[in-house]
Amino acid sequence: MTEPSITQELDTSGLLCPLPVLKARRALNTMHSGQRLRVIATDAKAPGDFAAFCEQSGDLLVEASQDGERFRIVVQKR
């Protein structure tokens, strides 16, 4: 069984909290259940912000990793 692919990517580089989460929420609202959104962020608070967002929204935080100064966050819509 293969993992779902990324449906949409959102680059929020340079934006600070809460803008990355707000933009991601707007994007997720246009997506269907099971689809995945990849967010690229440079705000060091992004991983924690997305963990809290997913806990509240019921969406699944699939990945929160760091590559240099960038964070890659993958959220699967509930």
What residues are labeled active site? 17
Rounded to 5 degrees, what angle do the CA atoms 61, 49, 62 make? 10
- The torsion angle over the Cα atoms of residues 45, 66, 4 and 57, rounded to 10 degrees, is -10
- Amino acid sitting at position 76: Q
Bridge partner residues of 6 (DSSP)? 36
